[in-house]
């Protein structure tokens, strides 16, 4: 396929695709390798993860530049992404013995009962372009240390990042076949899920893609984890620290140039704080630098593809036509590259795209509410439920509001983020299942009940 640098619109070199024979070979290799890998001592699996973290740290700049070239990520954010990949490897290398330990269960006298955690087999990972390394490594680290083997079908616009992941693991010493990248189109995903050698599937992507994968996995009775979109609420209550909420809010909306499932998207502000917050928020958004993603001073780079700019602008335009007002931004930048400015829109009708759809770019919708109860109701008025943020000077109040928001995670006085130590995932149309932490490691494991007693104990 034709590939383009999103910042310069220059053509990128083509990457050879894998054909049907390559896929068959990869599946056979994964199936055979699994039986060796699952019996590899846990200490060795942990050591290889530690070495992987070292490779990532040693070559951070190289891999960061690759992400910047292929999908336009600002270079500082790209470096942070690679560092986070090293962190998740170190986390599971350290905590795997705890997460994988047998769990004793008291049952009968003179009987030993416990739950053993065992790998399932080859797992297919279907990953998106927006965090081309992190999305993969948050799958890789828990699954490989648990004894599963992985096959990656990455997004078509980041094939070099996809191949780099496999090369990193091979450089770290992982045996051939433990993790394989397949440069194939989405049309091969369904048949791979249906193949008996694939035992589970995980997808991070759009809701339609998630429904398709979930349907096939369900028909095949295979476990799946789906991390889909988000329309995350960012609730600013009347007692919030306005300056902090505005500064963090601008960062929360524009991380990765706004192309993040857990970016703050709907800013829900109490009437008593609304005017001050809006002024501060607009100021923060306008202060951000849009430009060359390879420049460390750049805050917002290009959108990853031309069609993504078109989609974003269509959402903004349709919302304005429905009655919304643009406070800043609102038009694609007239320059080479797929750039859209930081945009703030107010008075958004509830059925307008900026209120009712996921917005994947640096455009924020700000809503005015009259009470805490109205803020919670509006936060929950979405088919999506991935994450959220609540701002208040009262920690107990923040926790109480967080408990009432329908989502997979809520952060009080902080932007929503993924963390290797915490489970990550959504509810409603944001998907199901969890990645990261102990829950993520066990998502594709057999939690096997084992009951042991002497024959002499039989009646």
420 inside domain: no
- Could you tell me if 44 and 132 lie in one domain? yes
Tokens linked to 340: 């859209």
Same domain, 275 and 172: no
Q: What share of the chain is helix, strand, coil (3-state, %, to 5)?
A: 45, 20, 35
Q: Which residues belong to the active site? A: 227, 261
User: What's the pLDDT score for residue 2?
Assistant: 80
Which CATH number characterizes residue 93's domain?
3.40.605.10
Q: Does 407 reside within a domain?
A: yes
Query: What average pLDDT does the segment 233-239 reach?
Result: 98
Compute the average pLDDT of residues 350-368.
98
Instruction: Identify the CA nearest to 182 among candidates 165, 200, 163, 210.
Output: 163
Q: What is the pLDDT of residue 170?
A: 98
Both 153 and 278 in a single domain? no
12 and 159 together in one domain? yes
User: What secondary structure does DSSP assign to 94-154, as a single string?
Assistant: HHHHHHHS-EE---STT-EEEEEEEE-SEEEEE--SSSTTHHHHHHHHHHHHHT-EEEEE-
For residue range 337-356, what is the model confidence (pLDDT) as tens digits?
999 999 999 999 999 999 99
Residue 455 maps to a domain:
no
* Token couple for 119: 């790998």
Q: Does 98 lie in the same domain as 83?
A: yes
pLDDT at 458 over 80: no
Residue 324, token pair as written in the block: 């919304």
DSSP state of 449: E
Sorted by sequence, the CB contacts under 8 Å of residue 276 that are 6+ apart come out as: 242
Query: Are residues 396 and 318 both part of a single domain?
Result: yes
Give residue-wise pLDDT tens across range 96-112: 999 999 999 999 999 99
pLDDT at position 129: 98
Read off the pLDDT of each residue in 63-89 and give the average, rounded to a whole number: 98
Q: What is the mean pLDDT of the chain?
A: 97
336 and 406 both lie in a single domain: yes
Spacing of C-alpha 60 from chain mean position:
20
Same domain, 359 and 224: no
Q: Rounded CA gap, 378 and 231, in Å?
A: 12
**Bridging pattern class, strands 224-227 and 431-432:** antiparallel
Flag whether 425 is in a domain.
no
Q: Which domain holds residue 362?
A: 232-412
57 within domain boundaries: yes
- Tokens representing 248? 């963090």
Q: Report the domain count for the chain.
A: 2
Q: What is the DSSP secondary-structure string of 222-235?
A: --EEEE----EEEE
pLDDT above 80 for 459: no
- For residues 213 and 239, membership in a common domain is answered with no
Asked if 225 contacts 421 with a C-beta cutoff of 8 angstroms, the reply is no
- Within-domain flag for 184: yes
Query: How does residue 422 score in pLDDT terms, banded at 50, 70 and 90?
Result: very high
Q: What is the pLDDT of residue 109?
A: 93
Q: Is the pLDDT of residue 151 over 80?
A: yes
What CATH number should be reported for the domain holding residue 376?
3.40.309.10
Within a domain: residue 351?
Answer: yes
> What pLDDT sits at residue 219?
98
Residue 315 shares a structural domain with residue 386? yes
How confident is the model over 254-300, as pLDDT tens digits? Answer: 999 999 999 999 999 999 999 999 999 999 999 999 999 999 999 99
CA–CA distance, 274 with 388 (Å, rounded to integer): 18
């Amino acid at each position: 396929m034709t590939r383009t640098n999103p910042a310069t619109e220059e053509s990128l070199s083509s990457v050879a695709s894998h054909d049907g024979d390559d896929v068959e070979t990869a599946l056979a290799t994964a199936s055979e390798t699994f039986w060796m890998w699952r019996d590899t001592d846990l200490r060795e699996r942990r050591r290889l993860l530690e070495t992987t973290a070292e490779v990532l740290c040693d070559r951070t700049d190289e891999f960061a530049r690759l992400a910047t070239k292929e999908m336009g990520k600002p270079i500082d954010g790209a470096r942070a992404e690679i560092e986070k990949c090293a962190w998740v490897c170190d986390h599971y290398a350290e905590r795997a013995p705890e997460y994988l330990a047998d769990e004793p269960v008291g049952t009968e006298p003179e009987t030993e009962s416990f739950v053993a955690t065992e790998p399932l087999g080859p797992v297919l990972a279907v990953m998106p372009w927006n965090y081309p390394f992190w999305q993969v490594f948050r799958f890789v680290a828990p699954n490989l240390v648990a004894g599963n083997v992985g096959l990656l079908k990455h997004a078509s616009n980041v094939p070099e990042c996809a191949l780099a992941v496999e090369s990193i693991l091979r450089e770290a010493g992982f045996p051939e076949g433990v993790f394989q990248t397949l440069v194939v189109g989405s049309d091969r995903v369904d048949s791979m899920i249906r193949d008996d050698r694939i035992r589970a599937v995980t997808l991070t992507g759009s809701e339609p893609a998630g429904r398709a994968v979930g349907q096939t996995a369900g028909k095949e009775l295979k476990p799946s984890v789906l991390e889909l979109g988000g329309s995350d609420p960012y609730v600013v209550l009347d007692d919030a620290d306005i300056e902090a909420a505005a500064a963090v809010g601008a960062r929360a909306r524009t991380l990765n140039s706004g192309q993040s499932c857990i970016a703050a998207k709907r800013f829900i502000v109490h009437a008593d704080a609304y005017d001050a917050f809006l002024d501060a928020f607009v100021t923060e958004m306008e202060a951000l630098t849009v430009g060359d993603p390879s420049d460390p001073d750049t805050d917002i780079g290009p959108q990853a593809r031309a069609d993504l700019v078109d989609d974003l602008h269509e959402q903004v335009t349709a919302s304005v036509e429905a009655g919304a007002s643009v406070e800043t931004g609102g038009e694609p930048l007239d320059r080479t590259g797929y750039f859209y400015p930081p945009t703030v829109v107010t008075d958004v009708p509830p059925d307008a795209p900026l209120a009712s759809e996921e917005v994947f770019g640096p455009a924020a919708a700000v809503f005015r509410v009259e009470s805490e109860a109205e803020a919670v109701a509006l936060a929950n008025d979405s088919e999506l439920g991935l994450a959220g943020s609540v701002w208040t000077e009262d920690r107990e109040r923040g926790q109480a509001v967080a408990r009432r928001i329908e989502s997979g995670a809520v952060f009080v006085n902080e932007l929503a983020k993924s963390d290797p130590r915490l489970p990550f995932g959504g509810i409603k149309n944001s998907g199901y299942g969890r990645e990261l932490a102990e829950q993520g490691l066990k998502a594709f494991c057999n939690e096997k009940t084992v009951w042991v007693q002497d024959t002499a104990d039989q009646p």
